[in-house]
Structure 1
Amino acid sequence: MKTALITGANRSIGLETAKQLSKKGFFVYLGTRDLAKGEDVVNQLSKDGFENIQAIQIDVTNPESILAAKNIVEKEQGKLDVLINNAGILGALPQEASIANIDGIRETFDTNFFGVINVTQAFIDLLKKSESPRISNITSGLGSLTLHSDPTWKYHSIKAISYVSSKAALNAFTITLAYELRDLPFKVNSIDPGYTATDFNHHSGPQSVESAASFIVKHTDTDENGPTGKFFSPDIENESEESPW
């Protein structure tokens, strides 16, 4: 049985991704900052018929929390097959580039960028023990510098410099990590789940959490011929669903 860890998975897209991976036969660690809340979620999932989902406490901004989670996975599973770096924050809006609060930018980067690096580096040795390791960094279409450089792009006017720049940085991390691991069986990709109706955006997105999670699972649970070092988005209307960086 393959094992997956999803950060920020006690609600919304992360939770639905855990449910869909469980249905595909994965053992899923449902990452949550508040273990009690995570266990409540897992108890309800169990009542709903979901199996092999376990809450695990992990705060991506806290190295001690990350190490404790890594030790649990190592003791119980001995390896990790899939890491989905889903935890993220938007930050207070609006975030205009010319006047955005630096402390707010740092806070957003701490979760969306440095947190991903901390978690990935902590779990990389367990991932190397897998025959088909996968790392999916959950990003946003707003992290595309190519699209932002087009003044006619429909989301160009969004004032969210903290979030936009943190996701662009995350995409850069994806590219460099994928290249570093290119000679190993890793598949490392950035995945934009699309503009989805969640608490994150006051349920303003047109897409469902089910379709968003399905898109993540599709581009994570790939075979040995799957792509690596790519950026996928459901908003891109081409066969590969690849977004420009």
Structure 2
Amino acid sequence: MNEHTTQVALVTGANKGIGRATAEQLAGLGMTVLLGARDHDRGAEAAAAIGGDTHAVELDVTGPATIRAVAQQVEARFGRLDVLVNNAGITGSGPVSPADAVDQVPSTVDPAMVRAVFETNVFGVIAVTNALLPLLRRSPSPRIVNVSSGAASLALASDPDGPLTRLPASAAYSPSKTALNALTVQYANELRKDGVLVNAVSPGFVATDINNHTGFLTTAQGAAVVVRMATLGADGPTGGFFGEDGPVPW
């Protein structure tokens, strides 16, 4: 096994947005960062811009061959993985503001869109996590962070006076993130005995391509909670859902 002493982190969907800001902040902490991107050239450009010990890896979370290849690269080069940030995700609606996401309304949604969103946002997380879990188990302090959304909260979404009721109902993106939260709890329950801390995070309303940059938080601000959960101490929580201000209701 490679005796690499610096912590090694992999961030999926990291060539832009919250993923890129997360990679930048982890690199700033002195970690070796593997910047996952579907497009190798875009990933390489982002890694070069971040600098430090940042390296692009071609990774499509819906592509089994690329997932296997990345796991093999990490195995050969580092022998372990300390941090996995499952950030890659899609809305299914393209880069639209939440107020315009009418094509996700349950009564008229295209089931094919729902399947595509779940393929990336849920099944992709399972595929990547399971491929890298043997390497995470070799870490003295393994951490898994699943990037969710406030829209995943059933408590907030079902509150008739809550902020989410101002948005169109969603049969794809929001349910996929709710499923991701449930998946987070199940991984946490299974891996608790092994010291693997698994948490979901809500970065907040961040200005990214997904919302046509209408969010009021910067990507750096959104990434802060991701990094905090990626660098938890041994006594940190597991199986939780957190925002910058603390726990988010399920």
- Same fold by TM (over 0.5)? yes
Q: Which stretches in structure 2 are left out of the alignment for 5+ residues?
A: 1-5, 94-100
TM superposition shift of 1:200: 1.2
Please state if 1:5 is matched with 2:10. Answer: yes
Q: Matches of 2:127 and 2:12 in 1, distance apart?
A: 12
**1:9-66 deviation line (CA, Å, top 9, x unaligned):** 0011111111110110100000000111111222233xxxx31000000000011110
**1:117-148 deviation line (CA, Å, top 9, x unaligned):** 00001101000000000000000010011111
Aligned match of 1:28: 33
TM superposition shift of 1:170: 0.3
Please state if 1:184 is matched with 2:194. Answer: yes
2:181 is matched by which residue type in structure 1? Answer: N
Aligned match of 1:62: 63
TM-score by length of 2: 0.92
TM superposition shift of 1:233: 1.6
Q: Which stretches in structure 1 are left out of the alignment for 5+ residues?
A: none
Aligned match of 2:136: 127
Q: Matches of 2:229 and 2:106 in 1, distance apart?
A: 32
Q: Matches of 2:174 and 2:20 in 1, distance apart?
A: 23
Matches within 5 A, 1:191-202: 191-202=201-212
1:229 is matched by which residue type in structure 2? Answer: G
In the alignment of these two chains, the number of paired residues is 236
**Higher mean displacement: 143-152 or 126-135:** 143-152
1:63 is matched by which residue type in structure 2? Answer: P
% identical aligned pairs: 42
Q: Matches of 2:195 and 2:49 in 1, distance apart?
A: 35
Aligned match of 2:106: 97
SS at match of 1:155: helix
- CA RMSD after TM alignment: 1.0
TM superposition shift of 1:157: 3.5
2:127 is matched by which residue type in structure 1? Answer: N
TM-score by length of 1: 0.94
Q: Matches of 1:44 and 1:206 in 2, distance apart?
A: 24
Q: Matches of 1:142 and 1:41 in 2, distance apart?
A: 28
**1:164-183 deviation line (CA, Å, top 9, x unaligned):** 10000000000011001111
Q: Matches of 1:25 and 1:109 in 2, distance apart?
A: 34
TM superposition shift of 1:154: 0.6
Q: 1:18 aligns with which of 6, 23, 39?
A: 23
Q: Matches of 1:21 and 1:86 in 2, distance apart?
A: 14
Q: 2:44 aligns with which of 25, 39, 42?
A: 39
TM superposition shift of 1:99: 1.2
Matches within 5 A, 1:123-202: 123-159=132-168, 160-202=170-212
2:214 is matched by which residue type in structure 1? Answer: S
Q: Matches of 2:130 and 2:140 in 1, distance apart?
A: 18
